[in-house]
Amino acid sequence: MLRDIKPYPLVLKNCLIAGMTIFSSLALSQPATAPRAEAIYFGGNILTMAGDTPRYAEAVAIRNGKIINVGSKAAALQLRDERTRMVDLAGKTLLPGFIDAHGHTWMTGFQKLSANLLPPPDGQASDIPTLLSLLKEWQSKNPVAIDKVGWIIGFGYDDSQLAEKRHPTAADLDQVSTEIPIVIIHQSSHLASMNHKALELAGITAASPNPAGGVIRRLADGRTPDGVLEEMAFFAPMFKVLASFDQNASEKIALAGADYYAQFGFTTAQEGRASKQITQTWHKLADEGKLKIDIAAYPDLQAESTFMSEAGTKKTYRNHFRIAGVKLSLDGSPQGKTAWLSEPYVHVPPGQPADYRGYPAIPKSDDLQSLVNQAFNNNWQVLAHTNGDAAADALINAVAKAEKRYGKGDRRTVMIHAQTVREDQLDRMKQLGIVPSFFSMHTYYWGDWHRDETLGKDRALRISPTQSALKRGMWFTEHHDAPVALPSSIMILHTTVNRTTRSGAVLGEDQRVSPYIALKSITDWASRQYFEEKSKGTISVGKLADLVILDKDPLKVDPATIRDIKVLETIKEGKTIFSQN
Ligand SMILES: [Zn+2]
Ligand SMILES: [Zn+2]
């Protein structure tokens, strides 16, 4: 389906003028033998993403990692000399490099290297016996890793997609091993299940009380742990496991994550809810010149407050790394029924009362307020994981109070996920300048589950209400939250445009947005979320030559087939860092 395309002469003229200005100043400062344009891209759909409506250019010229000309091919050819690399796109599509509005790059590498327990189509774990055999298979193939780490680790199981519609328990996992501790992490990363050996090592017994902000699920006797751990009950033992990795392993995991992102066209990635240790791993890799894409870390303010006071944030990258702000987590996840809602879940988890609404991760509002105050006081950008609308109320109230105390400012506080924000909450967010970063991928992965199991039809139809934000003139971003979902830029686009569930139903037809808006949410608008709109997000003169080549133009295919689009090449500051060939 063809979308209306604005002709570009006016843009072209402006770009040409800007390009010529830059060119003449470069020409003066460079020796005569230096190449003018290092590369010129032409012959395809060059969608600049600048402006409110689609604009195409004929050619893009780059030099020293930056874009020096955008416009007609004739103008670009003026910058060509014998050393200029001419790149014929041959009908393919060139876009600005994708920007990860929210994800966990290190954990994505961790997922890539652990047993894949994702349900189809991203994995094979469709029932518990299959899941157990996948773990056994991974165990037999990874003796060295298990020997080193001491654990069998699986990632991505989803109780809503398992035939049994329940979490695997300690008793199930004991069938894989009773000697080696096993932890399998739920696709939401907010829950996990352990075998008895792992529970023993974590010191979790019938006598253990539930930690604040977490639940140790129990057998019918109400005491004996069944192996399933929610939120804080899972994070504490998991951090210990992760901390046992040596530096070398941690670096390998980090680079595997960054590489995986690049395969999906991302040139900027986020390390959300970073620990001090993982932040330092990225820092070290940056110092050693090993990073190919930009990594922006947001350490967990609750856990790493002392570290943040020492480290602070930076506005610019050094060797592709910076600490960009802080992360807060206000609740859990709706698919795991731990998101904090104002109205009850449709079907509550076993053992919970009928009016169960999930729960806050930071139960005391004073604690939340002092964390937000600390961030405002230090001018640290806040990214707040907020899924349920009760959690959204808590965040909005805390930001409003902090703003009263510290004054108005361009802080771009981000509500990460914002999945169940109500219309009245969007009004307040607009007023306070809180940016929603939506998670429309849920419409596909958990859409049916939300409609039937967790939220019910009314709330499910308007999860990640992108069109409600647009109507208010708000810009927003979209994310994959990898490793919760694969770091697939293409699935972000597909789900934000189509909102079709696994079963093929459309979840909230009136919340769908155009492919151009979906692209905006991972390019131009995502650069704004990072305060990086001057250097990234659009193909414009003076910005970084962060680019991605797709086999097809998302604006020119049938929207239902966007998911079939392939990322062919990823270019960071003029260098190809991923190529399909
Ligand atoms: Zn989150
Ligand atoms: Zn996340």
DSSP symbols for 261-301: HHHTTEEEEEEEEE-HHHHHHHHHHHHTT--SSEEEEEEBT
- Report how far ligand 1's centroid is from the alpha carbon of 220 (Å): 31
Q: Which of 178, 210, 243 is the last residue of a domain?
A: 243
* Any domain includes 114: no
Domain at 151, CATH number: 3.10.310.70
**Prediction ipTM score:** 0.97
Lateral strand order in the sheet of 225-231: 115-116, 152-157, 182-186, 191-194, 225-231, 214-218
**Residues 193 and 335 placed together within one structural domain of the fold:** no
Q: Which of 243, 277, 311 is the last residue of a domain?
A: 243
Quick check: 15 pLDDT over 80?
no
Quick check: 23 pLDDT over 50?
no
- Report how far ligand 2's centroid is from the alpha carbon of 417 (Å): 8
pLDDT digits (tens, 9 = 90+) for 428-479: 999 999 999 999 999 999 999 999 999 999 999 999 999 999 999 999 999 9
- Report how far ligand 2's centroid is from the alpha carbon of 463 (Å): 17
d(CA 487, CA 111): 11
Name the strand (E) or helix (H) holding 225: strand 225-231
Centre a 10 Å sphere on the Cβ of residue 370 and count the other Cβ atoms it contains.
15
Q: Residue 459: give the domain boundaries.
A: 330-513
* Any domain includes 144: yes
Domain at 407, CATH number: 3.20.20.140
pLDDT band at residue 21, thresholds of 50, 70 and 90?
very low
What pLDDT does residue 12 have?
36
What pLDDT does residue 147 have?
84
pLDDT digits (tens, 9 = 90+) for 238-257: 888 887 788 888 999 999 99
pLDDT band at residue 379, thresholds of 50, 70 and 90?
very high
Q: Which of 226, 243, 260 is the last residue of a domain?
A: 243
What pLDDT does residue 534 have?
98
- Report how far ligand 2's centroid is from the alpha carbon of 107 (Å): 10
**Residues 238 and 341 placed together within one structural domain of the fold:** no
**Burial class for 503, CB neighbours closer than 10 Å (0-12, 13-18, 19+):** exposed
* Any domain includes 324: no
Quick check: 37 pLDDT over 50?
yes
- Report how far ligand 1's centroid is from the alpha carbon of 386 (Å): 7
CA-only gyration radius of the chain, Å: 24
- Report how far ligand 2's centroid is from the alpha carbon of 43 (Å): 38
Quick check: 25 pLDDT over 70?
no
* Ligand located closest to 391 CA: 1
Number of structural domains (the chain) is 2
* Ligand located closest to 361 CA: 1
* Any domain includes 73: no
